[in-house]
Amino acid sequence: QFLKKDDVTPEVLAKERSILAAQAVGKPAAVVEKMVAGRMNKYLEEVVFLEQRYLLDDSLKVQQVVARLSQAVGRELSVASFLRVQCGEGLEQGQKDFASEVATVLQQTS
């Protein structure tokens, strides 16, 4: 959803923080604060591209891979934008009845 942590709007952060705080109702305030902070970090790792785990080596974040590539080529590299693609997206198939297809083909050939 977002490229960098700085791109996450305060409204989104406030909404997520309120949801997480509501889930921790009934616990001491200090515990709630630590839980919310930890879960916010996890949330940011999910929605911020540069904070996500690198697909080919999940011990690294995308940001670390970009930094390593920058060192390797000797120039500053940065990610300007990204595109999310889901496997199979756009390949939806309609439900078809095989028997009716066969009947249609037989009618066309007769």
Digit-coded pLDDT (tens) for 4-20? 999 999 999 999 999 99
* Whole-prediction pTM: 0.70
Query: Per-residue pLDDT tens for 66-101?
Result: 999 999 999 999 999 998 877 776 666 666 777 888
Write the DSSP string, 54-79.
ETTEEEEEHHHHHHHHHHHHTS----
Residues 89 and 80 sit within 8 Å (Cβ to Cβ): no
Residues 22-74 have pLDDT tens digits of: 998 888 988 999 999 999 999 999 999 999 999 899 999 999 999 999 999 99
